[in-house]
Amino acid sequence: MKRKVIIAILLAFLCCLLLSAQAFAMSGSAIRLEIRSPVNSLTSENGLIAVEQFPAEIAISAAAKAGNLAGIQLSHNGQTQEIPADHILTISNKEACGVYTLTAKTDEGAVLTISANVVFQEKATYNIRYRTVGLNLKETYDGADKLKTFPTPQRITLVQANTIAEYEQERIAGLVGRSDGRTYTLKGSLVVEVYDYSTGKVIGTYDANLDFNALTTGFNWTPKSLIAFETMRNAAITYQAPVKINVQTTWCSEDKQEVYGKAMAQDRGVPEYLYPYQTTSVTFSKDDIPLSRNYIYKGLEWDYTPEIARYTDGGSQTQTAITQKINTKIPAADFYFKFKKQDGNDLSVSIRAPETVYRGDSYSFEVVFTNHGAAPAYDVPLIGTVDREQMKEIPAKQDFSPNESKTFTLTRNTDKAGAVITLWAQIKVPEGFMDKNLENNSATVVIRVVEKPEPTPSQGKNPDPDKENPPLAENPDPEKPCDVSASIAAPPTVYEGEPYRFTVSFTNHSDRMLKDAAVRGKNNDAVLDSIPKALAFNPLETKTYTLTGQAGHVGEVYNLWANIGVPEGFRDENPVDNTAASKITVVAKPSGDPTVPGNPPGKSDNPPDNPDNPPTDPDNPPDPGHPPVDPVVPPEKQCDVWVNLSYPPTVYEQEEYSFTVYFTNDTDQALSGVSLSASIDGKAVSAVPTAADFKAHETKAFLVKGKAGEKGTTIRLSAQVSPPAEYRDTNTSNNRAAAELAVVERPYDLDVQRITPDRYKENQTVISTIKVSNRGSLDFTPGQKVSVLFEISELSLSKRIDAVVMEKDTYNIVSVKWDTPNVQADKNITLIAVINPDQVLDNEESNANNTYTQKAIIKDVAYDQPEESTTIPAPPQRSEQPRVTWKEQRFENDRLVWKDFYAELKVDAVLDYDTKAIGYIKSGYGFSINVITSINTNYDRPELITAPQTAEVYLPQYRYETAIPLMKEGDHFTFKENLTSPFRYKKQYVPVWFPDDRDYIVQLLVTDVHTPGGTLSKWITGGNLKMKVVDNMYSDDVTTGSP
């Protein structure tokens, strides 16, 4: 009878299970060692390599994951030889079987040593079969020196008949018990299990060496099986002991006596213990610890203990970061970032306040903080109190330029004050700063509170309590337009030592109710306390405040100033007239006191109701032929008429502006035919009539408009008034008024607010999004050449985005596409964005906020080796972002508009397998995947949206915890070649043990679609990625045995 040749169960067991086995490799190894026979393989780990015939070829390959290979050695039976990175080992007979030890090194100091136990296996017959289940360790060696003998053999479990179970790694480490970076050998023999294939019953477990006779004599094994057992009698594995890593950094003073912070390499992700086959690196920067900007960086020092040839001490005064490569040979390393405190400056504070105030009145005072010195001071703490209540108007911290003072003007009310008010302020010494004089760091002022005399009508105190305590502002809609203005009506001159009076008016020209409009007024540097800090306005309402003063000496000038702001949420369409200026000059009183009794110059009891809306129908001008009067003029023909201007100190180039001309009859009698005139740069203006009639003590106001020219020019205003021909003016010094307006560019302040994201992956095309803003009153269109410069100094990357557009007081989004490099470890980088980098726009209020710096990191992408588990969880819930929306500004049809954009990721995926047509898959067989993606968007710059760059699957046998990356082929993703598959199919395999009649559910993640609105990601669970498992691959086994 012809005997049928069948496949031995050992071979079937190995071949079947190798389809789904995942070997335990040395975690984090910088070297990959692969040993492959026709039967099985090892990757960077100890284990068994099986051959089925002699001679047999075993392929050995080595590769460096970090650095370059520096040599490979192969040792067997006491003989060592150098081999190339790709080598074929020939096993010619059973004597050539045994332990082969491979050692590979890199130029970065990594050393990987593994032992491959080459054993022979036969194609078995019948129902009685064996399988290799473990390794009995008996002795430990350091080279040729025996370290210990175990009284009882230490059983190490094998997985899939050739690799050491993952959970045994910790026990092996305990058996050696060393952490010195050396390589140790553990010797013993293999353990086999004999069982009945037909019943599954285990007959016995045997040590291939100690139980050799019992194993080989009781089961009628074939001669080749006996040869196989002989090759299992001696086995060994190697263990590389770790080394504790001691690398730390200190931020300190120059003499190292003051320590500002410390960090270990372990704080940066470096493991506490490093194995010889691992290498890593750590980067420290002077900016890793957030120190005060007052510290002056003085350099970096590095010390190694012990100092050896490859690791020498040193330092640099300019180096700001250091990257230390780490392997098990590095000595203890200490890095020192050294800093010096800012010294030589003097910080001081002073308070300017009145000595007395009336009870019930508001009062103002100034707190002045100063940095006296040639160096800046950063984050300086400031504080002030009024009767121990904090002055909230003073910020908690401020930066000071060299020799800079900051003045804060505050207003308080005396209603609840005692007999005195105590003002106190302090400027504290910030961290990293040395103040050479601490005696002037605080100031105290005491104000006496006195009772106020009975008020008189001339005081003009506003009786409306809402003027002092305006109602709280509502929250108006953003971008509501309005127009408010300020004006001042004042006599141009006043006699020495006499009282004077002027009015300040604030007007709401819009048809909206305004609340909490901030108003201010000053006479020289003195705050006008009679004007509330905030006002509420009805539509088209004007509010006027009359103020008085006492003239000083001849030649003194009282510069009057008033300003009104708009409430939060409003925008002034004509901000140039929000500020008004005028002046009063003290002149000598003429001899003979020609003043009309009881009416000193400057007194006006009939101010205009609305100075910005003058009468449009003036009186008829006087007869130009009116004869002159007699030089001797009786008192009833004496008068005082005057003119003055209320004007904005500056106007914007090529824009309309306005000013007010006030003409006043400061006489007890009416006047007819008063001559008037006003001009701009010498040209008469038509808004002012040539003559007008005045009632006693009447003031007429005329609003004059003009258009400014180029910035840098000056507009000269003038006005003149003359009494009727039969009258003589008793004070001709106030018959003329003049002013100059500076033409400037609209103020604006460009800044960079943020750069996102701050985490990137290596080897990708990414999008960095920069948010820029325009704080000011000027729109920026493409013609104004706003540019943004984006830089990454560590990558020598620089990109410029031109023609950035922004409406005033808004923001816009600027996006930059760039490619991340390949990195061997996580790489820290600095993203820098600069708006207006070339200072083409030279009228910014501040350039300090034009640059924004963002710390970021490029992640080293590494996939962990999956760990198989027979516990199958339900697929977890995942978070995703398949759609994003965002806004950007565009310049279209000669105007700035906001555009809404979106981007959406679409994913279609299917599984394919041989039995798909019948609706199920058998466990042990493989399946493939095909993933197709697309992006839907309305973005007008689609080049700034990347294609999907990452696709990963998560499988149930790995508890949905470890990602298996897909590779991109054209417009779709598929599996990579499976190294555990004998033919390297682009498949994954359902484990043989997977339960019958259960769904095998795959989870898919597609991500790294970078857009200006964020990164898109999409998860798919089940559906087309679900397979029903029925039966297993063994039902297709054609092997048979004897009855």
**pLDDT for residue 431 is more than 50:** yes
Q: Is residue 786 part of a domain?
A: yes
Q: How far apart are CA 561 and CA 583, in angstroms?
A: 8
Measured CA to CA, the distance from residue 437 to residue 194 in angstroms comes to: 91
Domain boundary among 859, 891, 908: 859
Q: Which of 917-931, 972-986, 1022-1036 has the least mean pLDDT?
A: 972-986
pLDDT confidence tier of residue 479, bands split at 50, 70 and 90:
low
Residue 461 reports pLDDT greater than 60: no
> Per mean pLDDT, which range of 16-25, 35-44, 87-96, 205-214 is the poorest?
16-25
- Preceding omega of 634 cis (within 30 degrees of 0): no
User: Is residue 103's pLDDT more than 90?
Assistant: yes
What are the strands of the beta sheet with 405-413, ordered from one edge? 405-413, 362-372, 342-352, 433-435
CATH of the domain at 1026: 2.60.40
Regarding whether 553 and 515 lie in a shared domain, the answer is yes
Residues 374-385 have a mean pLDDT of 92
Residues 219-243 have a mean pLDDT of 90
Claim to verify: residue 69 and residue 185 sit in the same structural domain: yes
Quote the tokens at residue 1005.
């993640």
Please indicate, yes or no, whether residues 326 and 346 belong to a single structural domain of this protein: no
Cβ–Cβ < 8 Å for 930, 948 = no
Does the pLDDT value for residue 284 go beyond 80? yes
For residues 355-392, one letter each, b for 16 or more C-beta atoms within 10 angstroms of the residue's C-beta and e for the rest, the string is eebeeebbbbbebbbbbbbebbbbbbebbbebeeeebe
Report whether pLDDT(368) > 50: yes
| Residue the block writes with tokens 């190339």 | 84
Most confident of 705-714, 734-743, 952-961: 952-961
Q: What is the DSSP letter of 958?
A: G
Residue 814 token pair = 């600027």
Q: How many domains does the chain have?
A: 6
Is the domain of 612 the same as that of 660?
Answer: yes
Cβ-Cβ contacts under 8 Å for 661 (sequence gap 6 or more): 643, 644, 645, 678, 688, 701, 702, 704, 719, 737
How many whole angstroms from its chain centre is CA 878? Answer: 25
Domain termination residue (choose one: 224, 240, 256): 240
Cα-atom radius of gyration of the chain, to the nearest Å?
45
Query: Could you report the per-residue pLDDT of 946-976, keeping only the tens digit for each?
Result: 999 999 999 999 999 999 999 998 889 999 9
Q: Residue 1031 to residues 16, 200, 981, 988, 994: CA-CA distances in angstroms?
A: 14, 18, 21, 18, 9
Q: How far apart are CA 107 and CA 665, in angstroms?
A: 98
pLDDT tens-digit series, residues 128-183: 888 899 999 999 999 999 999 999 999 999 988 788 888 888 889 889 999 999 99
* pLDDT tens per residue, range 319-344: 999 999 999 999 999 999 999 998 87
Tokens of 573: 């369409």
Classified as helix, coil or strand, 823 is: coil
383 and 403 co-located in one domain: yes
Q: Which residues pair with 117 in a beta bridge?
A: 48, 99
| H or E segment to which residue 172 belongs | helix 169-176
Q: Number of C-alpha atoms within 13 angstroms, CB side, residue 810?
A: 21
499 pLDDT exceeds 60? yes
Query: 816 pairs with which residues across the strands?
Result: 768
pLDDT at 590: 77
| Structure confidence at residue 629 (pLDDT) | 41
State the Cα–Cα distance between residues 332 and 314, nearest whole angstrom: 14
- Over pLDDT 70: what percentage of the chain? 89
- Report yes or no: 904 and 937 within 8 Å, Cβ to Cβ: yes
Predicted local distance difference test score (pLDDT) of residue 453:
62
Concatenated DSSP letters for 727-751?
-EES-GGGSEEEEEEEEEPPPEEEE
Q: Is residue 873 part of a domain?
A: no
Q: Are residues 788 and 922 in the same domain?
A: no
Instruction: Return the closest-CA partner of residue 878 out of 1018, 1025, 1023, 1016.
Output: 1018
| Cβ proximity of 426 and 348 under 8 Å | no
Query: What Cα–Cα distance (Å) separates residue 359 from each residue in 547, 549, 732, 842, 943?
Result: 19, 20, 41, 49, 69
- Specify whether the CB–CB gap between 257 and 241 falls below 8 A: no
Both tokens of residue 526? 């003195």
Handedness of CA 823, 828, 833, 838 (dihedral sign): negative
Residues 355 and 303 placed together within one structural domain of the fold: no
Q: Identity (one letter) of the amino acid at 159?
A: V
Summarised one tens digit per residue, pLDDT across range 523-577 is: 998 899 889 999 999 888 888 999 999 998 888 899 999 999 889 888 787 787 8
Task: Name the amino acid, one letter, at 623.
Answer: D
Is 867 within a domain? Answer: no
What is the C-alpha separation between 381 and 600, in angstroms, rounded?
A: 51
Token duo for residue 378: 């950063």
**DSSP code, position 230:** H
Span 844-879, pLDDT tens digits: 777 888 999 999 999 999 998 899 999 999 999 999
Query: What does 548-598 look like in DSSP terms, one character per residue?
Result: EEE--STT-EEEEEEEE-PPTTEEES-GGGGEEEEEEEEEPPPTT--SPTT
Q: Does residue 288 belong to any structural domain of this protein?
A: yes
| pLDDT computed for residue 124 by the predictor | 59
Tens of pLDDT, residues 442-454: 998 888 888 766 5
- pLDDT surpasses 80 at 880: yes
CB atoms < 10 A from the CB of 149, how many?
A: 9
Q: Which residues, 6 or more positions from 198, have their beta carbon under 8 angstroms from its beta carbon?
A: 127, 1041
Nearest Cα to 20, choosing from 990, 984, 998?
A: 990
User: According to the model, what pLDDT value does residue 602 have?
Assistant: 41
Whether 227 contacts 121, CB under 8 Å: no
- Looking at per-residue pLDDT, the higher value among 118 and 15 belongs to 118
pLDDT band at 424 (very low <50, low <70, confident <90, very high): very high
Q: Is the dihedral of CA 678, 683, 688, 690 positive or negative?
A: positive
The HSE-up count of residue 237 (CA atoms within 13 Å, CB side) is 30
- With a cut of 90, say whether residue 263 has pLDDT above it: yes
Burial class (CB in 10 A: 0-12, 13-18, 19+), 828: middle
Triad 527, 529, 531: Cα angle to 5°: 105
Reported residue count of the chain is 1043
Comparing C-alpha atoms, which of 505, 573, 498, 511 is closest to residue 545? Answer: 505
Q: According to the model, what pLDDT value does residue 125 have?
A: 62
| 422 in a structural domain | yes
Query: How is residue 477 written in tokens?
Result: 């809609």
When the pLDDT of each residue in the chain is averaged and rounded to a whole number, the result is 86
> What gap in Å lies between CA 245 and CA 266, rounded to an integer?
8
> In which region does residue 151 sit, left (phi positive, over 0), alpha (psi from -120 to 50) or beta (all else)?
alpha
Q: How far apart are CA 9 and CA 128, in angstroms?
A: 9
* Domain membership flag for residue 871: no
Q: Is residue 392 part of a domain?
A: yes
User: Can the peptide bond before residue 354 be classed as cis, meaning omega within 30 degrees of 0?
Assistant: no
DSSP track, 592-629: T--SPTT--TT--SB--S-TTS--SSPPPPPPTTPPPP
Q: 1013 or 613, which is more confident? A: 1013
422 & 284 share domain: no
Q: Is residue 368 within 8 Å of 407, Cβ to Cβ?
A: yes
Q: pLDDT digit string (tens) for 169-221?
A: 888 988 999 999 999 999 999 999 998 888 889 999 999 999 999 899 888 88
Does 426 map to a domain?
A: yes
CATH number of residue 604's parent domain: 2.60.40.10
Of the candidates 962, 965, 1023, 1003, the residue with the CA atom closest to the CA atom of residue 877? 1003
What pLDDT is recorded for position 11? 32
Confidence band, pLDDT 50/70/90 cuts, at residue 459: very low
pLDDT over 70 at 390, yes or no: yes
Are residue 315 and residue 170 in the same domain, yes or no?
A: no
How confident is the model at residue 452, as a pLDDT?
Answer: 66
- What is the distance between the alpha carbons of residues 630 and 728, in angstroms, rounded to a whole number? 10
Residue 24 lies in domain: 9-240
**Does residue 862 contact residue 962 with C-beta atoms inside 8 Å?**
no
Query: What was the pLDDT predicted at 123?
Result: 66
User: Quick check: 489 and 701 in contact, CB under 8 A?
Assistant: yes
pLDDT bucket at 910, cuts 50 / 70 / 90: very high
Q: Are 565 and 517 in contact (CB under 8 A)?
A: yes
d(CA 732, CA 803): 57
At 604 the pLDDT is: 44
Q: How many beta carbons lie within 10 A of that of residue 556, not counting itself?
A: 14
User: Tokens 């006693």 map to which residue?
Assistant: 696
More confident residue, 938 or 5: 938
Do 917 and 855 share a domain, yes or no? no
- Is the same domain home to 143 and 221? yes
- Per-residue pLDDT at 454: 53
Of 712, 744, 776, which closes a domain? Answer: 744
Phi, psi of 1036 (to 5 degrees): -95, 5
**Percent of the chain scored above 90 by pLDDT?**
63
Closest CA to 696 of 752, 639, 652, 619: 639
Token digits for 235? 């086995």
| In a shared domain, residues 549 and 593 | yes
pLDDT at 362: 86
Is it the case that residue 835 has pLDDT exceeding 60?
yes
Give me the residues paired with residue 571 across strands. 481
More confident residue, 353 or 454: 353
Rounding to the nearest 10 degrees, give the CA dihedral for residues 815, 819, 825, 827: -40
Residue with structure tokens 């640059």? 851
